Structure 1
């Protein structure tokens, strides 16, 4: 398969020469300021009670007792660290669909 160019491309500097991007057009100067637009585009968002509860409830995020047990076992040398198994589990988790 080959790709053939059928249309000549223009250099960037020839395109930029037709428009001066550093100056504003007349319509841009007459637009209201961004502060004025922000007041006109005000949007209100209301969260449901369940959403508010989920945002504040972190009890199920981390099992702090289990984390403390694992830290203590690691510090005491009772739990061996097996990098190969950890890496394999991470890769499996990554490619699970």
Structure 2
């Protein structure tokens, strides 16, 4: 199989400009979805036994009260985030498992 390089090339047409893309996106965001609503959907979801066990797990691995405190502090701006420390901890954690 060979490529015929003697034929002239033609520019790609039909690719919208960034302005057209922004306008199209804005229009799509303001247009309600035409698919079925949640009430009309007939999709059935079945959870595995493990998923059901995880959802009902009360072993205490997660301190839900502490999680709520941290979320409230973050929302109130009382808990400073230090991206450098977070990144360092993630990298250290990653290298501990390899």
TM-score by length of 1: 0.39
Q: Which structure has the larger Rg over C-alpha atoms?
A: 1
The structure with more helix, counted as a fraction of residues: 1
TM-score by length of 2: 0.39
